[in-house]
Structure 1
Amino acid sequence: MIEMTARRDYEYDNTYNRALQSRIYADLDGTEYANLHEETGIKLFSYSPPIPPRNAEEGDTRRLIVAGHDDHLITTIATKLCQDPELNLYEMPFHADRAFSITTPLRDQGTLTTGTPIVVRYSTETADEYGIDTPYETTHWQPEHGTELFFERLHNNLGRKYQLAYDEEPPEPPYFTGYSFERTIAKPLSFDTESVTFIGSEWTFEYEIESGSHRKLLQLALTAGLGELNSLGFGFMNRAEDVNDGAPEQP
């Protein structure tokens, strides 16, 4: 967790993702993770928005949580932010004051909630399998596409993360005992000269640990995130018991 101070008044900017991602990758230059941003496929880390995600006045405290499977990577990101503490997320300017470790062990049963929207995408081939008519080669999941497709893609992605992290086969889904869909969010982000709109969704997931491998998989969901584009700031997860007015409790 990085504790930050707002350097001036600002209105909350929900398009912060690219600015924060760029800062993280720039900080990794010159480290053993220098090529991480060039690697394709899944990256096993995620991060929160500035917490709480709302307007601020100069001097207000905000927090940023960076989580992942590789503890050394997370420590490197946090250390670099504090070594060069001026963090500018477009019109949201911060000073990174300090960083400290937090632990988030899972109870035997509990609830996970989305801290940032989950992005699930699928191809035209998958769309055809589910009888979905779409003109796009890659389509973002939306409620009208059905929860069966959402969880098929979600479980598949989480299983691949598990294989990458532990080099073993993941437990069989389903991974959650219950769920509640909250809403979808359209989020336009700028990439150089083009703007791309991502459609994400917010959820609450109930779980009950069934095995050691199931615990490892859900712990990975909490640290590396759910769905796609976690390194772009999507799919960051919280334990429900930690959330207080949009901000996880301090340890």
Structure 2
Amino acid sequence: MRLRITFEPYGDVARQPNKHAVQGFIYNLLKGSEYGERHDEPRFKFFTFSDFFTDSTGRPTLLVSSPEKGFINTLYSAIREKKSVYIGRQELEIVELKKFKLPLRRAFQTGSPIVLYRNAEKNEYFKLHQHRDLRFFLQRLKENAEKKYEAFYGEDFFLEGPIFDRLIPKLRTNGKLDVYVKVVKNGIPFPVIGSNWELLEKERIKPEERRFYRFIMDAGLGEKNSLGFGFLNPLRR
């Protein structure tokens, strides 16, 4: 399930908010609800959000997705009565709020970079441009998704074959494949490295796999989903 929030910036055009500030904005909306302790729970958070983008009128827009309907409903109820909000130091007027559910597709496009660790103990991220190992990327992506799915539904699951059959990475203007995102937490900046994709496609989704692919569509792919990474948009093909 998804929540779409469209804003009108006060003063200057809105800047791309720091992802930690957006995460804090979401957690503040959850205070006092059954999800109010989600930030401190030692578990997967089961939500993600997109990078800010502009709608057809040029207004900054944010998408939040989660496989938990109650999570999205709680955010919706918390924000629907507000006229404006702060994300970091930016004050933004809320001009439109909509919750919705998208149909499952065989193809997806990233709405924020996918992040994977090559070596988590050394805090080393997988770099597509440097490591050039799609087999590693697909296998780690699959293992991470299966683990989150099992934690959410409380049942074992194994996906036969690769998680995607066709992949088209999105090149940056400088010709690089990797995206370096500076995240600031408690005044301390640290880089997060990921990759964006024009296409992630599964040729055929079996009936018994539909719930798994719907889950990753809503929960996000890879690491650091609750920090706004791995957001997926379904595509018509």
Question: Shared fold by TM > 0.5?
Answer: yes
Superposition deviation, residue 153 in structure 1: 1.4
2:124 is equivalent to residue 142 of structure 1: no
For 2:140, give the aligned amino acid: R
Partner Cα distance (2:85, 2:69) in 1: 22
**Paired position in structure 1 for 2:84:** 86
TM-score normalised by L of structure 2:
0.85
1:176 to 148, 158, 164: 164
| Alpha-carbon contact 1:13-1:91 (below 8 Å) kept | no
Structure-to-structure mapping, 1:42-81, within 5 angstroms: 42-52=44-54, 61-81=59-79
2:103 is equivalent to residue 118 of structure 1: no
Shifted more, 110-119 versus 162-171: the winner is 162-171
Superposition deviation, residue 77 in structure 1: 1.2
**Paired position in structure 2 for 1:222:** 217
**Paired position in structure 2 for 1:246:** none
2:43 to 41, 44, 61: 41
TM-score normalised by L of structure 1:
0.80
Superposition deviation, residue 97 in structure 1: 3.3
Gaps of 5+ in 1: 125-135, 243-251
| Alpha-carbon contact 2:16-2:52 (below 8 Å) kept | no
| Alpha-carbon contact 2:8-2:93 (below 8 Å) kept | yes
Query: Against the structure 1 CA distance between its residues 162 and 173, is the aligned structure 2 distance closer, same or farther, given a 3 Å change threshold?
Result: farther
**Paired position in structure 1 for 2:150:** 163
Superposition deviation, residue 12 in structure 1: 5.0
2:103 is equivalent to residue 105 of structure 1: yes
What's the % identity of the aligned pairs? 25
Query: Against the structure 1 CA distance between its residues 174 and 232, is the aligned structure 2 distance closer, same or farther, given a 3 Å change threshold?
Result: same
Tell me how many residue pairs correspond in the alignment: 225
**Paired position in structure 1 for 2:200:** 205
Partner Cα distance (2:154, 2:204) in 1: 21
| Secondary structure of residue in 2 paired with 1:83 | coil
Superposition deviation, residue 7 in structure 1: 3.2
Shifted more, 88-97 versus 162-171: the winner is 88-97
Gaps of 5+ in 2: 171-176
| Alpha-carbon contact 2:139-2:162 (below 8 Å) kept | no
1:26 to 8, 25, 28: 28
| Alpha-carbon contact 2:112-2:228 (below 8 Å) kept | yes
Superposition deviation, residue 9 in structure 1: 4.5
2:229 is equivalent to residue 238 of structure 1: no
Shifted more, 208-217 versus 156-165: the winner is 208-217
Partner Cα distance (1:235, 1:222) in 2: 9
Query: Against the structure 1 CA distance between its residues 85 and 205, is the aligned structure 2 distance closer, same or farther, given a 3 Å change threshold?
Result: same
